[in-house]
Structure 1
Amino acid sequence: MNAELQIKKGRKYDQVIAGARAVFMREGFEGASVDEIARDAGVSKATLYSYFPDKQHLFLEVLKTECAAQSEVDVLFEQKGLSVEEKLAVICKKLITFLLSDFGQDMFRVCVAESKRFPDLGTAFYASGPKHWGEKISSFLCSDKARAVLDVEDPDLAADQLAQLCRTDLMLKVMFGIEQDPKEEEIDRIVDEAVRTFLARYVRAA
């Protein structure tokens, strides 16, 4: 499958994406049918196929669109006036919130379940989510402002370490339905510990 197919965006594009998102989240990738997606989107199958040649490309477009909309990662890294410690805290808070969101959880489940049969799905999820976050964090760690405070030799590894500090047991509890509505204080505690641990490893010696 050519995942890089150029998708046209006509008058009913958003309508198709919204319908497809609802069905994929409800039925999973394999359980979702093109007929059902067309019904939820309120369009004909012919209209749907005029945008997307198959279900795989439609899912990939939903994935990329939702990751871009919900992670807010580009806007996040453009925030001004924050200290390095404050920026790290904001990064961790946004990342944890994204990981715990219904969308983040649902997409993770679907992509893990289908990645063996449809490797492009797992690749697209990784590229749109974890990889994109990692690249942005690494770029921040390479900035003059961060380098004035942190001693980071391998920014890609350090970015991954920061992200992993955010993937605590809480993520598994939410995924398995053990905890459905994490308290803000619990998330803030994880953020605080992640930043403190990261700084303990990388802050420059006085």
Structure 2
Amino acid sequence: MSTVVTTYHQRVAQEKRALIVTAATALFLESGYDRTSLARIAERAGVSRATLFKQFPSKAALFDAIVTESWSTAHEEDPPPAGNLVDGLGVIGRRYAELLGRAQMADLFRIVIAELPRFPELAQAQFSHGKMPYFESVRGYLLAEHEAGTVRIEDVDLAATQFLGMISNYVFWPALLVPGWEVGAERVAQVVDEAVRTIAARYAVTGPGASAKDRVPPTTTDSRRRRRS
């Protein structure tokens, strides 16, 4: 019985947390981060202030949760096995395009952009809690391919940025900035396939003379370059 009760309470808490995050995102977009109070978020979410403060002791903590949940599952999924660059990047590219197509992802970036002059810490939260964990998962996959001998990459950070950038620059940024911009599923698939082909053409190890001894160790670049896609 106690297990059933505990599971029930956990489910209720998760449901209330989701209501709070949804309400906060909507209010941040409507009124701005600064002019939205936790009390107003609690009212919109239909929960008590005590419930909200129990889950999120500050507005900054709530925003961090929005960022984390917007990027959730994307970098937590198992990476494709190394050994087939085209198949592996295809899986990663489709996951990334799906992530960028979520409504909450565009909402998150709009909040950050709108509040950046007064609250630069929001951009830092978006970068450290969202973008960087995802970037590191892609970087790790390319490193695994390098170790497997399927690619030769001197700058793995740059390669990951190139791949993600080719996708986001077509399917996400115009949709964020240009009213009415829409990209259909067929076009998204084409964009991902072309990004995969471009990376494979640049980095894949081909030809009978290629061997492990020919591979150049990937370099570790300044973390400031791990961005912008």
TM-score by length of 2: 0.74
Give the deviation of 1:82 after TM superposition.
7.3
Give the deviation of 1:130 after TM superposition.
2.1
Does the 8 A contact of 1:84 with 1:146 survive in 2?
Answer: no
SS of residue matched to 1:161: helix
Does the 8 A contact of 1:85 with 1:195 survive in 2?
Answer: yes
Paired with 1:149 and 1:155, the residues of 2 have a C-alpha distance of 13
Structural mapping, 1:74-85, within 5 Å: 74-77=76-79, 79-80=80-81, 83-85=84-86
Structure 1 residue 17 corresponds to structure 2 residue 17: yes
Paired with 2:147 and 2:192, the residues of 1 have a C-alpha distance of 18
The letter for the 2-side match of 1:179 is W
Structure 1 residues 31 and 16: CA distance shift in structure 2, 3 A: farther
How large is the Cα RMSD of the aligned pairs?
2.4
State the percentage of identical aligned residues.
26
Give the deviation of 1:80 after TM superposition.
4.7
CA displacement, residues 29-84 of structure 1 (integer Å, 9 cap, x when unaligned): 33533223212333211232233232121121222133214x2x22141x458722
Does the 8 A contact of 2:67 with 2:108 survive in 1?
Answer: yes
The letter for the 2-side match of 1:118 is F
Structure-1 residue corresponding to 2:26: 26
The letter for the 1-side match of 2:48 is S
Structure-1 residue corresponding to 2:154: 153
Structure-2 residue corresponding to 1:47: 51
Structure-2 residue corresponding to 1:65: 69
Count of residues in correspondence between the two structures: 193
The letter for the 2-side match of 1:64 is T
Paired with 2:156 and 2:188, the residues of 1 have a C-alpha distance of 25
Does the 8 A contact of 2:27 with 2:41 survive in 1?
Answer: no
Give the deviation of 1:146 after TM superposition.
6.0
Structure 1 residues 199 and 80: CA distance shift in structure 2, 3 A: closer
Structure 1 residue 136 corresponds to structure 2 residue 137: yes
The letter for the 2-side match of 1:89 is G
Structure 1 residue 177 corresponds to structure 2 residue 142: no
Structure-2 residue corresponding to 1:95: 96
Paired with 2:121 and 2:16, the residues of 1 have a C-alpha distance of 21
Paired with 1:170 and 1:91, the residues of 2 have a C-alpha distance of 15
Give the deviation of 1:152 after TM superposition.
0.6
SS of residue matched to 1:204: coil
Q: Please tell me whether Structure 1 or Structure 2 has the larger radius of gyration of its CA atoms.
A: 2
Paired with 1:177 and 1:161, the residues of 2 have a C-alpha distance of 26
Structure 1 residues 179 and 74: CA distance shift in structure 2, 3 A: same
TM-score by length of 1: 0.81
Structure-2 residue corresponding to 1:116: 117
Structure 1 residues 88 and 21: CA distance shift in structure 2, 3 A: same
CA displacement, residues 6-51 of structure 1 (integer Å, 9 cap, x when unaligned): xxxx856424432232223322233533223212333211232233
Paired with 2:26 and 2:145, the residues of 1 have a C-alpha distance of 45
Unaligned runs of 5+ in 2: 1-8, 208-229
